[in-house]
């Protein structure tokens, strides 16, 4: 039985009220100077009513956020095997570099003569990305993976319109991330699904049957979301190109192949790269990310503004289509992209080097195959053969129990680890997608395996209650998501009369 105390606290777990419930009116954690007098130029539109922000002192603020932080799981704390998210170690050197004077304090609209080092840094980052992917052009400005997808598809549409026909349809495999079809819609395309074959790859015959003059693009994640390399990718690329369409690769899983396979050699026309996955920049509780997108020769002229040009006599920034000698499709982000993330990613790339990146992809794949080998007699692996950097199981191993994938995941939490991705991809039943990344040591993997095996074993016994009631040890136990959605409470409001 969970124990309760007067304050609701348990050991180091503190019940922390909202900031609005800690208000001392008039209090501030900042001692700002008294404003001087000056001509008021607000045009009679000064705010007259109070905003309603609470007042807290500095120590109260520090405690509040420290306590909140202690309610979070994080990579710094342990294995975070969230498939397709590449939760690898976030080096603190990257943070230090992003904050250097001369980088962290640059204004985006300074004269370009005063930011030559920043433009050079973007150029160097672009060079690394182009070299690692074997692609001739890059757009750095997309803000995250889904934004990079949008960038890729906008370039596709611009190139097709340039040829005289934008076409109508984007083909997307069943197993794709939800962002792929959502992005296609944002580019004005209808979406058509392509089924997977029995080996967890694109059904090439189905793809060929779907390809015609209306198809603008085929979007494929490779390695795919089943954790498998698309072994017919060269045939896929040929088929797509023969139909006059473009080939988009979702680079969410690039970490498996960095330094070993160049997407440019696979016939890919564009691919986004999640710097916050493959190149170690922090996920930050849900961003910021960065989604630079690389392009083939055919799409290179349509890369959006802004972009950096090495003039030989310094670096220039092309900020509008009018300044460009190419055919940029437009602009998709304010200023120049997620520069602070660029600095962090470059810091990681320079640290790893060409050899280290190649070792990292090998270790990521090795780690995933190791847990597959250690678990496949108790869990049910969905597809045979070696996986790439993540391994997909389904819930067949739970079929004679009343335990679901969700229950299993919640029980993992009580054992002190973050669960894997669940119920994705949709192509297998009750998916469990595990991506340990190269960050895990062998000891860490062995502990993880032991924990999962223990739970798999427990699930076979008469232990339904144990799983249904998990987690028990966390700051909160299972939360009522149905109630949250039925009657949304999305902000604090003062109590009536309060």
**Positions in 102-161 near other proteins (CB under 8 A):** 102-111, 113-118, 120-121, 124, 128, 131-132, 143-147, 149-150, 154, 157
For helices 339-375 and 116-133, the axis angle rounded to 10 degrees is 30
Can you tell me which of 211, 273, 293, 410 binds other proteins, judged by CB under 8 A?
410
Q: Is 430 in the site for other proteins (CB under 8 A)?
A: no
Can you tell me which of 14, 168, 191, 396 binds other proteins, judged by CB under 8 A?
191
Can you tell me which of 137, 225, 270, 336 binds other proteins, judged by CB under 8 A?
336
Contact assessment for residue 294 and residue 135, using Cβ atoms and an 8 Å cutoff? yes
Distances (CA, A) of 31 to 27, 28, 57, 65, 479: 10, 7, 10, 20, 40
Cβ of residue 373: shortest distance to other proteins, in angstroms? 5
Rg (CA), the chain: 25
Assign 103 to helix, strand or coil: coil
From 204-212, 392-400, 453-461, 487-495, give the range in contact with other proteins by CB under 8 A: 487-495
Q: Is 19 in the site for other proteins (CB under 8 A)?
A: yes
Distances (CA, A) of 251 to 3, 14, 137, 276, 305: 47, 40, 15, 12, 21
From 202-210, 242-250, 392-400, 484-492, give the range in contact with other proteins by CB under 8 A: 484-492
Can you tell me which of 212, 310, 384, 385 binds other proteins, judged by CB under 8 A?
385
Cβ of residue 269: shortest distance to other proteins, in angstroms? 16
Contacts to other proteins from residues 23-62, by CB under 8 A: 25-30, 32-33, 35-56, 58, 61-62
| 265: phi then psi, degrees, rounded to nearest 5 | -75, -10
Strands 307-310 and 315-318, bridge-based pairing: antiparallel
From 209-217, 360-368, 394-402, 454-462, give the range in contact with other proteins by CB under 8 A: 360-368
Q: Is 462 in the site for other proteins (CB under 8 A)?
A: no
User: Residues 268-297 vs other proteins: string with x where CB under 8 A?
Assistant: ------x-x---x-xxxxxxxxx-------
Q: Is 334 in the site for other proteins (CB under 8 A)?
A: yes
Task: Compare residues 187 and 211 and give the one whose CB is closer to other proteins.
Answer: 187
Distances (CA, A) of 488 to 82, 375, 494: 27, 40, 16
Assign 283 to helix, strand or coil: coil
Cβ of residue 388: shortest distance to other proteins, in angstroms? 8
Euclidean distance between CA atoms 74 and 67, whole angstroms:
14
Residue 222 DSSP label? S
Euclidean distance between CA atoms 430 and 403, whole angstroms:
11
Can you tell me which of 79, 270, 271, 409 binds other proteins, judged by CB under 8 A?
409
Can you tell me which of 298, 378, 444, 451 binds other proteins, judged by CB under 8 A?
444
Task: Compare residues 52 and 454 and give the one whose CB is closer to other proteins.
Answer: 52
| 433: phi then psi, degrees, rounded to nearest 5 | -110, 115
Euclidean distance between CA atoms 367 and 390, whole angstroms:
9
Q: Is 186 in the site for other proteins (CB under 8 A)?
A: yes
Can you tell me which of 238, 353, 384, 464 binds other proteins, judged by CB under 8 A?
353
Q: Per the omega criterion (within 30 degrees of 0), is the bond before 356 cis?
A: no
**Which is nearest to 281 in space by CA: 336, 338, 344, 349?**
344
Q: Is 465 in the site for other proteins (CB under 8 A)?
A: no
Contact assessment for residue 220 and residue 239, using Cβ atoms and an 8 Å cutoff? no
Can you tell me which of 165, 399, 460, 484 binds other proteins, judged by CB under 8 A?
484
Task: Compare residues 369 and 404 and give the one whose CB is closer to other proteins.
Answer: 369
Contacts to other proteins from residues 166-185, by CB under 8 A: 177-179, 181-185
Q: Is 261 in the site for other proteins (CB under 8 A)?
A: yes
């Amino acid at each position: 039985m969970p124990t309760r105390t007067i304050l609701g606290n348990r050991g180091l777990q503190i019940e922390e009220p909202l900031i609005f419930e800690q208000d001392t009116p008039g209090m501030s954690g900042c001692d700002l100077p008294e404003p001087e007098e000056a001509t008021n130029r607000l045009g009679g539109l000064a705010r007259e009513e109070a905003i309603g922000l609470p007042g807290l002192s500095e120590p109260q603020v520090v405690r509040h956020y420290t306590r909140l932080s202690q309610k979070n799981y994080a990579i710094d704390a342990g294995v975070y095997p969230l498939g397709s998210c590449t939760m690898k170690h976030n080096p603190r050197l990257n943070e230090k570099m992003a904050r250097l004077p001369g980088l962290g304090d640059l204004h985006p609209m300074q004269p370009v003569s005063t930011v030559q080092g920043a433009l050079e840094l973007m150029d160097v980052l672009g060079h690394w990305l182009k070299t690692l992917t074997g692609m001739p052009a890059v757009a750095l400005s997309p803000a995250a993976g889904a934004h990079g997808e949008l960038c890729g598809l906008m370039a596709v549409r611009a190139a097709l319109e340039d040829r005289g026909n934008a076409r109508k349809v984007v083909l997307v495999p069943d197993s794709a991330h939800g962002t792929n079809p959502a992005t296609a819609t944002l580019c004005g395309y209808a979406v058509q699904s392509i089924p997977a074959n029995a080996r967890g790859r694109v059904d090439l015959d189905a793809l060929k049957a779907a390809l015609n003059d209306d198809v603008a693009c085929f979007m494929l994640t490779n390695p795919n979301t089943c954790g498998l390399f698309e072994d017919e990718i060269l045939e896929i690329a040929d088929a797509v190109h023969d139909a006059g369409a473009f080939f988009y690769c979702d680079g969410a899983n690039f970490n498996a192949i960095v330094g070993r396979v160049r997407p440019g050699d696979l016939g890919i026309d564009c691919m986004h790269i999640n710097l916050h996955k493959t190149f170690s920049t922090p996920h930050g509780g849900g961003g910021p990310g960065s989604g630079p997108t690389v392009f083939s020769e055919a799409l290179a002229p349509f890369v959006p503004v802004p972009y950096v040009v090495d003039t030989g006599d310094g670096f220039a920034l092309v900020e509008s289509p009018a300044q460009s000698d190419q055919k940029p499709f437009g602009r998709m982000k304010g200023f120049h992209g997620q520069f602070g993330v660029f600095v962090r990613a470059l810091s990681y790339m320079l640290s790893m080097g060409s050899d280290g990146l190649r070792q990292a992809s090998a270790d990521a794949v090795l780690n995933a195959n190791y847990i597959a080998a250690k678990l496949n007699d108790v869990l049910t692996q969905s597809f045979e053969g070696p996986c790439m950097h993540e391994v997909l199981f389904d819930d067949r191993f739970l079929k004679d129990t009343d335990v679901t994938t969700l229950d299993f995941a919640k029980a993992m939490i009580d054992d002190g680890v973050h669960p894997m991705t669940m119920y994705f991809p949709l192509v297998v039943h009750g998916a469990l997608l595990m991506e340990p990344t190269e960050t895990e040591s062998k000891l860490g993997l062995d502990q993880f395996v032991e924990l999962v095996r223990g739970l798999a074993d427990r699930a076979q016994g008469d232990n339904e209650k144990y799983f249904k009631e998990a987690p028990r040890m966390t700051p909160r136990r299972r939360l009522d998501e149905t109630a949250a959605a039925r009657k949304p409470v999305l902000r604090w409001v003062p109590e009536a009369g309060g």
